[in-house]
Amino acid sequence: MAFLELDNVSKSFGQVEAVQNFNLQAERGEFVSFLGPSGCGKTTTLRMIAGFELPTAGTILISGNDVTFKPPQKRNTGMVFQAYALFPNMTVADNIGFGLKVAKKPSAEIKKRVAEMLALIKMEKFGDRYPYQLSGGQQQRVALARAIAIQPQVLLLDEPLSALDAKIRVALRQEIRAIQRELGITTVYVTHDQEEALSLSDRVVVMNNGCIEQVGTPFEIYNFPQTEFTAQFVGTLNRIGATVRDVANGELLIDSQRIVTAQKLEGVSNGTAVTLSIRPERISFAADGRKPNGLNVRVENITFLGSIVRVQVRAGDNVFLMDTFNNPFLKLPDIGDVVEITFSKEAVLVLKHA
């Protein structure tokens, strides 16, 4: 039986259906991320797990107990907010010990636990400081320590890194993951940042318009998107218009040039217009001779992005991107050159909703 279970959970605000028939089963110690654009219902779902919103329909179970209508203070969930939400009138130590004081734990136990938490977040010397004396990253680490000090059954994080700058965000997300692994807390993480979701999670729930688009491991979500939305939202994706040439052999035409897909073509016939998706990093310059999928394209733009170089090319009406590793000894084509590019037949996906 799953440790955290959401069964057909829905939430409406008046006429607006914020979350529709949300189903999820998370195992004990699992790290699950809700990924989606603003307004997709991910934070509402998290708030329903925390008890700040009541579902219009469905049930929420934690460790087999129905908590759907329990008040937040009786759910034993720890919550970390985007805005830190540290109590400004309390020191770091008092903030961390707040939940334990409320639970009327003995003062010796509180002191010990606070010291453990400060050590865990590597802020042993900051116990007497006030939140306004800390940086954003430090405040969020304190908020994390405060949430896990009460040993919650489920840890909920609502875009905790959004207010931080890029470098601190990367460092802190690794810290969050390390702490979560060490303590084995079942964690739900809300983010609109795909890199965060993919790098942190055991499983990612991609959401759009209040519905689940796809649930899977980061590998599955990125490499095998099942819906057009997932394919577009996660990573950079080329959408290329094509025509089916031979259904049986998986042959397609892009700008009258023949390519092949490994995907079985279903529900289409020869001559049908379809949309293909190919990740930029799956495309490369053809070194010598024709490859299974070779396309002649015109180079329109070249952008240097540090470790990679992004090349924009055109084939007929289709403009798409290809990423190649930055190699200082490799001669790149000039803008306006016609070059041959190649990609494997496995890289070509025909989108479900093409």
Partner 1 sequence: MKKFPFWAWFWVVLGVLYLFLPLYGTLDFSLRMVRDQLSFAAYEVVLRDPKFAATFSYSFIMALWTILASTLLIVPTAYWVHLKLPQLRPLVELVTLLVFVVPAIVLVFGLLRIYSRPPLALTNSDLGADILLVAGYVCLSFPYMYRAVDTGLRAIDVRTLTEAAQSLGANWLTILLRVVLPNLRVAVLSGAFLTFAIVIGEYTLSVYLARPAFGPYMQLLGRTRAYEPAALAIMSLTLTWTCVGIIQLLGRGVPGQGQLAGTR
Point out which residues bind partner 1 (CB under 8 A): 50-52, 71-79, 81, 83, 85-89, 98-99, 102-103, 130-133, 143, 146-147, 150, 156
- Cα gap 28→154, rounded to integer Å: 9
Of residues 111, 123, 13, 7, the one with CA closest to residue 62: 7
Nearer to partner 1, 79 or 234 (CB): 79
Nearer to partner 1, 3 or 81 (CB): 81
CA torsion angle 22 28 33 34 (round to 10): 20
Nearer to partner 1, 188 or 231 (CB): 188
* Cβ–Cβ < 8 Å for 77, 153: yes
Nearest-approach distance from CB 72 to partner 1, in angstroms = 4
Nearest-approach distance from CB 186 to partner 1, in angstroms = 15
Nearer to partner 1, 78 or 280 (CB): 78
Nearer to partner 1, 83 or 262 (CB): 83
Q: Which amino acid is at 116?
A: E
Nearest-approach distance from CB 39 to partner 1, in angstroms = 19
Q: Which amino acid is at 16?
A: V
Nearer to partner 1, 95 or 214 (CB): 95
Nearest-approach distance from CB 6 to partner 1, in angstroms = 18
Nearer to partner 1, 72 or 241 (CB): 72
**CA dihedral sign, ordered 247, 250, 256, 258:** negative
| Rg over CA atoms, the chain | 25
Query: What b/e sequence results for 161-196 when a residue is b if at least 16 CB atoms lie within 10 Å of its CB, and e otherwise?
Result: bebbeeebbeebbebbbebbeeeebbbbbbbbbbeb
Alpha helices in 58-193 (DSSP H): 92-102, 107-120, 136-149, 166-183
Structure tokens at 64: 């087999």
Nearest-approach distance from CB 113 to partner 1, in angstroms = 13
Nearest-approach distance from CB 102 to partner 1, in angstroms = 5
Nearest-approach distance from CB 161 to partner 1, in angstroms = 16
Q: Which amino acid is at 326?
A: N
